[in-house]
């Protein structure tokens, strides 16, 4: 079985060499965005240095090269997700835009007053607000699956909330503020049994787990390139071809048409129907390189390594007096949210930053999760496969200092 060669992996990420306040940086904000390995940086720079040009438009050498690289990245993502075809891969600006695309195009065209949309209490705001906006406009009803104090969804409640009126289940695969891994495959099967479609928010899942959309049988799946070691401003919407085909375009403009007259415009075939205007060519090429990179490390190795880090981190943080972990699901990834008595999360963040440790503090765009636990904010250390147990020790040491300040 493949394992992580941590020295090699760390050499691949130039950003890890940065010092903060004269101390080696410990980067534990990977759920917000990940660092980029050298092949991704080189792929983006290579495009700008050697073949900058627009895609699908010119027949000149550079444009052909850029188009081949851009479409090559689509094929890589298709294989990465095991989609049936590359026309099922739509490039977007990120998870947020992918979800909005479905809400606007599918939601406004196919849903009507009284239809129910099911989400969960642990969704990121980007999987709440677009549906609320849709409900306001179309009179649909938003239903919410609760979770327990470990941060695990109540499957019983889910089954109760799933009714003949449910038209869409939009569910997060892995929670960004709790680390919980939801049983999405089982939920998809149950939702389909009731005739509902399912959108999976895989923003966090994509860097922790191999994803097979045919095995999951989800109807839509969204992720962001920047959380998969790729460039910011890139993202993917996977959708089953027959659904995407039936959906109207989201944005109108260049590249998404077949023909335009003032009397009538016809639209391009998939996937171009959903990619109006000049896309983020460099970013998408970088995303293709990120997919190659992650696969070269291998998800077996990533999962095994991260699970050990999670166990080590859970023990080490729990040993800090007074520290309470928020999110202790049986099935979880290396995301450690916590609170410390008498210390506000922002103060914790500032003090550990003085020690060179980067964590995230706040509500993590999941205010309902904060409400559930009765806290305004948490501190969150989110780890990936380039992090180490020594870095966790550095965080714990910094937290002990925080305790001294606040006790
Ligand atoms: N869903 C989840 C679970 C996330 O963690 C995030 C980003 N924190 C998003 C959606 C939104 O992603 P983006 O900001 O890249 O669109």
Give the pLDDT confidence score for residue 340 in this predicted structure. 95
Peptide bond before residue 98 is cis, with ω within 30 degrees of 0: no
Final residue of a structural domain among 229, 263, 295: 295
The reply to whether 208 and 242 lie within a common domain is yes
The catalytic position among 135, 140, 218, 365 is: 365
Atom 8 of ligand 1, residue of closest alpha carbon: 32
Q: Among residues 263, 295, 327, which one ends one of the domains?
A: 295
Measured by CA distance, the residue closest to atom 6 of ligand 1 is 203
pLDDT of residue 317: 98
Q: How far apart are CA 233 and CA 97, in angstroms?
A: 10
User: What distance in Å separates the CA atoms of residue 407 and residue 322, rounded to the nearest whole number?
Assistant: 11
d(CA 199, CA 220): 4
CB 383 within 8 Å of CB 336: yes
pLDDT 10s digits, 122-170: 999 999 999 999 999 999 999 999 999 999 999 999 999 999 999 999 9
Same domain, 312 and 185: no
Answer yes or no: is 332 within a domain. Answer: yes
If asked whether residues 48 and 104 sit together in one domain, one would say yes
Helix (H, G, I), strand (E, B) or coil at 322: coil
Q: Which atom of ligand 1 sits closest to the CA of residue 365?
A: 8
pLDDT band at 300 (very low <50, low <70, confident <90, very high): very high
CA 175 to ligand 1: nearest atom: 3
Cα 307 to Cα 289: distance, rounded to the nearest angstrom: 25
Q: Which contacts (CB < 8 Å, 24+ apart) does range 252-256 have?
A: 252/276, 253/277, 254/278, 255/56, 255/279
Closest by CA position to 251, among listed 111, 132, 108, 101: 101
For 367, how many CA atoms within 13 A lie in the half-sphere containing its CB? 4
| Residues 286 and 326 both lie in one domain | no
| Residues 141 and 230 placed together within one structural domain of the fold | yes
Does residue 148 lie in a domain region? Answer: yes
For ligand 1, the distance from its centroid to the CA atom of residue 96, given in whole angstroms, is: 7
User: Which atom of ligand 1 approaches the CA of 96 most closely?
Assistant: 16
Residue pointed to by tokens 């094929």 = 75
Q: What's the pLDDT at 1? A: 73
- Provide the domain count of the chain: 2
Residue 274, helix vs strand vs coil: helix
Cβ-based burial of 303 (10 A; exposed 0-12, middle 13-18, buried ≥19): middle
Question: In sequence order, which residues have a C-beta less than 8 Å from that of residue 369 and are 6 or more positions away?
Answer: 121, 122, 151, 175, 177, 178, 363
36 domain-assigned: no
Domain range holding 352?
A: 6-30+298-406
Q: Does the bond joining 271 to the residue before it have cis omega, within 30 degrees of 0?
A: yes
Ligand 1 surroundings by CB, under 6 angstroms = 31, 94-96, 124, 126-127, 172, 176, 201, 203-204, 224, 365
The residue from 277, 295, 313 where one domain ends is: 295
Do 51 and 198 belong together in one domain? yes
Give CA–CA dist 328/149, Å, rounded. 8
Residue 75, token pair as written in the block: 């094929």
The atom number, within ligand 1, closest to the CA of 176 reads 5
Same domain, 319 and 251: no
352 CA distance to ligand 1 middle (Å): 24
CA distances from 220 to 123, 198, 212 (A): 16, 6, 12
> 73: part of which helix (H) or strand (E)?
helix 61-81
pLDDT averaged over every residue in the chain: 97
In terms of domains, do 218 and 318 share one?
no
Whether residues 96 and 76 fall in one domain:
yes
Q: Measured on CA atoms in the order 264, 270, 274, 275, is the torsion positive or negative?
A: negative
What's the 57 CA to ligand 1 centre distance in angstroms?
32
Quick one: pLDDT at residue 2? Answer: 85
Q: Is 146 left (phi over 0), alpha (psi -120 to 50) or beta?
A: beta
Q: How do strand 235-239 and strand 220-224 relate by DSSP bridges?
A: antiparallel
**26-27 vs 23-24, strand pairing mode:** unpaired
CA distance 259 to 253: 11
Comparing CA positions, the residue from 281, 234, 257, 232 lying closest to residue 53 is 281
The CA 33 to ligand 1 mean position distance, Å, reads 9
Check pLDDT > 90 for residue 98.
Answer: yes
Rounded CA separation 257/276 (Å) = 8
How far is ligand 1, taken at its centre, from the CA of residue 65, in Å?
A: 31
Q: 99 is written with which tokens? A: 């979800």
Contact 31, 380 (CB under 8 A): yes
Banded model confidence at residue 400, pLDDT cuts 50, 70, 90: very high
Q: Choose which residue among 96, 222, 384 to substitute to test ligand 1 binding: the one with the highest number of ligand atoms within 8 A of its C-beta.
A: 96
pLDDT at position 58: 77
Atom 12 (ligand 1): residue with closest C-alpha? 95
Give the number of the atom of ligand 1 that is nearest the alpha carbon of residue 364.
8
Kindly report, residue by residue over 332-355, the tens digit of the pLDDT: 999 999 999 889 999 999 999 999
Which ligand 1 atom is nearest residue 201's CA? 1
**Structure confidence by residue, pLDDT tens digits, 187-220:** 999 999 999 999 999 999 999 999 999 999 999 9
* SS3 category, 120: strand
* Terminal C-alpha separation, the chain: 47
Expressed in angstroms and rounded, the spacing between residue 153 Cα and the centre of ligand 1 is: 19
Instruction: Verify whether residue 365 is a known catalytic residue.
Output: yes
- The whole-number pLDDT of residue 59 equals 87
- Confidence check: pLDDT of 57 > 80: no
Residue nearest to atom 14 of ligand 1 (CA): 96
Cα of 273 to ligand 1 centre, how many Å? 24
Q: Are residues 150 and 233 both part of a single domain?
A: yes
CATH of residue 349's domain is: 3.90.1150.10
188 burial level (CB within 10 Å; 0-12, 13-18, 19+): buried
Same domain, 15 and 81: no
The predicted model scores a pTM of 0.98
Q: Which residues contact 396 (CB under 8 A, 6 or more apart)?
A: 316, 317, 319, 320
H-helix or E-strand containing 47? helix 38-50
What is the CATH classification number for the domain harbouring 187? 3.40.640.10
Kind and range of the H or E element at 61?
Answer: helix 61-81
Assess whether pLDDT exceeds 90 at residue 406.
no
Residue 179: inside a domain, yes or no? yes
Residues 23 and 48 in one domain: no
Phi, psi at 23, each rounded to 5°: -110, 155
What's the pLDDT at 280? 98
């Amino acid at each position: 079985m493949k394992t992580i060669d941590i020295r090699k992996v760390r050499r691949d990420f130039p950003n890890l060499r940065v010092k903060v306040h004269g101390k080696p940086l410990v980067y534990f904000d990977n759920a917000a965005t990940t660092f980029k390995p050298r092949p991704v940086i080189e792929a983006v720079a290579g495009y700008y240095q050697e073949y900058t040009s627009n895609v699908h438009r010119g027949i000149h050498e550079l444009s052909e090269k850029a188009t081949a690289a851009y479409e090559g990245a689509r094929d890589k993502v298709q294989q990465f997700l095991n989609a049936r075809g590359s026309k099922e891969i739509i490039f977007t600006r990120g998870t947020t835009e992918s979800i909005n695309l479905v809400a606007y195009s599918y939601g406004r065209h196919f849903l009507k007053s009284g239809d129910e949309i099911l989400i969960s209490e642990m969704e990121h705001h980007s999987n709440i607000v677009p549906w609320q906006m849709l409900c306001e406009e179309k009179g649909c009803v938003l239903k919410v699956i609760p979770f327990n104090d470990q941060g695990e969804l109540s499957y019983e409640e889910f089954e109760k909330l799933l009714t003949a009126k449910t038209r869409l289940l939009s569910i997060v695969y892995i929670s960004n503020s709790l680390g919980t891994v939801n049983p999405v495959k089982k939920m998809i099967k149950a939702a389909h049994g009731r005739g509902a479609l399912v959108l999976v928010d895989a923003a966090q899942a994509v860097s922790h787990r191999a994803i097979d959309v045919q095995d999951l049988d989800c109807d839509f799946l969204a992720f962001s390139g920047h959380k998969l070691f790729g460039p910011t401003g890139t993202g993917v919407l996977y959708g089953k071809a027959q659904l995407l085909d039936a959906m109207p375009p989201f944005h109108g403009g260049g590249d998404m048409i077949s023909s335009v007259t003032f009397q009538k415009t016809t639209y391009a075939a998939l996937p171009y129907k959903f990619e109006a205007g000049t896309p983020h060519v460099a970013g998408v090429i970088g995303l293709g390189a990120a997919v190659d990179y992650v696969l070269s490390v291998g998800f077996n190795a990533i999962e095994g390594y991260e699970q050990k880090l999670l166990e080590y981190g859970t023990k080490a943080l729990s040993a800090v007096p007074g520290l309470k972990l928020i999110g202790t699901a049986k099935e979880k990834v290396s995301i450690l949210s916590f609170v410390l008595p008498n210390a506000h999360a922002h103060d914790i963040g500032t003090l550990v930053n003085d020690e060179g440790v980067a964590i995230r503090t706040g509500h993590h765009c999941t205010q309902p999760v904060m409400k559930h636990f009765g806290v305004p904010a948490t501190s969150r250390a989110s780890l990936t496969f380039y992090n180490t147990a020594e870095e966790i020790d550095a965080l714990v040491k910094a937290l002990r200092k925080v305790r001294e300040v606040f006790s």
